[in-house]
Amino acid sequence: MRVSRSLSDMPGVTVAMVAMATDLNVSILRELGFTIPETDPGDLLIAVRASDTEAAVEEADRQLTTFQRADPAPEHQPPLTTRSAARTPADLVLVSTPGEHAFAEALDAVEAGLPVMIFSDGVPVWQERLLKERALQQAGDVLVMGPDCGTAVIGGVGLGFANVLRPGPVGVVAASGTGAQQVTSLLDWAGTGVSHVLGVGGRDLSAEVGGLSALRALRMLDDDPATELIVLISKPPSPEVARAVEESVGRMRTPVVRAMLQEGAPDLTEATEQVLRALGRPVPEWPSWPSWPGGRPPAKAIKGVYAGGTLSAEAAMVAGSGDIVDYGDDAYTRGRAHPMIDPVLRVEALAHTQDTDVVLMDVVLGHGADPDPAASLAHAVARAPATVVIALIGTEGDPQDLHRQAAAFREAGAAVFTSNAQAARHARSLL
């Protein structure tokens, strides 16, 4: 993706894409008018349209084949396998490989007695269950976070997609990465910090997995002296897992606020407000930046252009209607970067909207995300025929500078909210 962006910035280059030859990427290039030879998903595609194609391809080759090592000393070379890494003084293992290879690496970590965060998706559910059962058999607190765990914060250190959060009394167990980012960023706006954010993977509370990691994470936070209140964030669990969770919560000394995305339940912003009230802290007005008055025709439909799965589900629940697409779903990320990093698919979606549409979208800040999302998305927002409403998820400590991002999107014509639920209500009000 960095090579694609670098090539796009070259004089005379109108189209540049360097990506794996997945069905989605091949389809995109064909729609752009490229003739694609027979490929395998493991192949690398370099597609360039430029006044000097040869120079652009040479630059792509140079960037792809040049490897810079910050410290070439042999003693500083990273371990080549998880098994060898586990023999170093490590406290946690992070696995980010193609899904078909994640199980073996994670199993090495578990059998070495180390907690593991599995960023990878595409891991079969039976492998997830087996990993978590093996973790329970180990001595100590061996927690399996994931698969498809995008966010964790351990003792103030963010892993994966993580916002810069102040330390504080709230512990989070999350079967949702962007759900955790929404709740914790709002808490940060309210001056309240977190102890730990333990992601467990979106399937953990299903009947197939049995909530094994969520139950262990709840017990770990209950034993943590820095945690005064716990938030459990998830889509509705299976009935048997819900019963197990309630039984576990009933034995805990630490109060638990449940943020379950289902009809009739509080949305993530309302759940955050419950946390603040339980702690005896005031609930602030959540920051927002209204759009400039415009003369657009009456809106007829909501279209969601989302990067976060839980945020898209919440938007659909709150807005009550519309075509909400989660571009962070596995169907869109196979062989390409997540839309929190790579904006290409969402830029294209914005271009194909109508002037009677309201586009509802998220922009998630923090470490791991696009270092300047407004640089790539604000121009697309300004050119979009539709009215655009943005949920800007982040904190004032994030490296992207939240206020600068909000100003750029507002200047592009969007209404900006720090609460996804409030953004969805605003979008609904425009119909």
CA separation for the pair 191, 214 (Å, rounded): 26
Query: Do both 154 and 255 map to the same domain?
Result: yes
- Count up the domains in the chain and report the number: 3
Average pLDDT over residues 32-48: 87
Query: Do both 153 and 297 map to the same domain?
Result: no
Other Cβ atoms closer than 10 A to 349:
19
- Single-letter code of the amino acid located at 2: R
Query: Is the per-residue pLDDT at 334 higher than 80?
Result: no
pLDDT at 335: 72
Query: Do both 139 and 30 map to the same domain?
Result: no
Digit-coded pLDDT (tens) for 157-178: 999 999 999 999 999 999 999 9
Query: Do both 210 and 247 map to the same domain?
Result: yes
Residue 153 lies in a domain: yes
Range of the domain at 31: 2-65
Partner residues linked to 323 by β-bridges: 303
Cβ burial 234-243 (10 Å sphere, 16+ → b, else e): bbebeeebbe
pLDDT tier, 127 (very low <50, low <70, confident <90, very high otherwise): very high
CA separation for the pair 139, 194 (Å, rounded): 27
- Single-letter code of the amino acid located at 388: V
**CA-closest candidate to residue 330, choices 2, 103, 23, 16:** 23
**CA-closest candidate to residue 82, choices 69, 92, 74, 93:** 93
Of 294 and 358, which is predicted with more confidence? Answer: 358
Query: Do both 298 and 266 map to the same domain?
Result: no
Other Cβ atoms closer than 10 A to 226:
15
Digit-coded pLDDT (tens) for 220-260: 999 999 999 999 999 889 999 999 999 999 999 999 999 99
3-state secondary structure the chain: CHHHHHHHCCCCEEEEEEEECCHHHHHHHHHCCCCCCCCCCCCEEEEEEECCHHHHHHHHHHHHHCCCCCCCCHHHCCCCCHHHHCCCCCCCEEECCCHHHHHHHHHHHHHCCCCEEECCCCCCHHHHHHHHHHHHHCCCCCCEECCCCCEEEECCEEEECECCCCEEEEEEEECCHHHHHHHHHHHHHCCCCEEEEEECCCCCCCCCCCCHHHHHHHHHHHCCCCCCEEEEEECCCCHHHHHHHHHHHHCCCCCEEEEECCCCCCCHHHHHHHHHHHCCCCCCCCCEECCCCCCCCCCCEEEEEECCHHHHHHHHHHHCCCEEEECCCHHHHCCCCCCCCCCHHHHHHHHCCCCCEEEEEEEECCECCCCCHHHHHHHHHHHCCCEEEEEEECCCCCCCCHHHHHHHHHHCCCEEECCHHHHHHHHHHCC
**pLDDT mean across residues, the chain:** 91
Q: Name the token pair of 301.
A: 């439909």
Query: Do both 119 and 182 map to the same domain?
Result: yes
Query: Do both 271 and 294 map to the same domain?
Result: no
Query: Do both 336 and 293 map to the same domain?
Result: yes
| Lowest-confidence pick of 1-10, 97-106, 403-412 | 1-10
Residue 23 lies in a domain: yes
Residue 74 lies in a domain: no
Residue 143 lies in a domain: yes
Q: Taking the model in full, what pTM does it have?
A: 0.87
pLDDT at 71: 55
Query: Do both 58 and 107 map to the same domain?
Result: no
Query: Do both 332 and 423 map to the same domain?
Result: yes
Q: Name the token pair of 219.
A: 């017990």
Residue 89 lies in a domain: yes
Query: Do both 346 and 395 map to the same domain?
Result: yes
pLDDT at 295: 63
Other Cβ atoms closer than 10 A to 360:
31
User: Are the C-beta atoms of 86 and 93 separated by less than 8 Å?
Assistant: yes
Query: Do both 34 and 173 map to the same domain?
Result: no
Query: Is the per-residue pLDDT at 184 higher than 70?
Result: yes
Query: Is the per-residue pLDDT at 74 higher than 70?
Result: no
CATH code, 350: 3.40.50.261
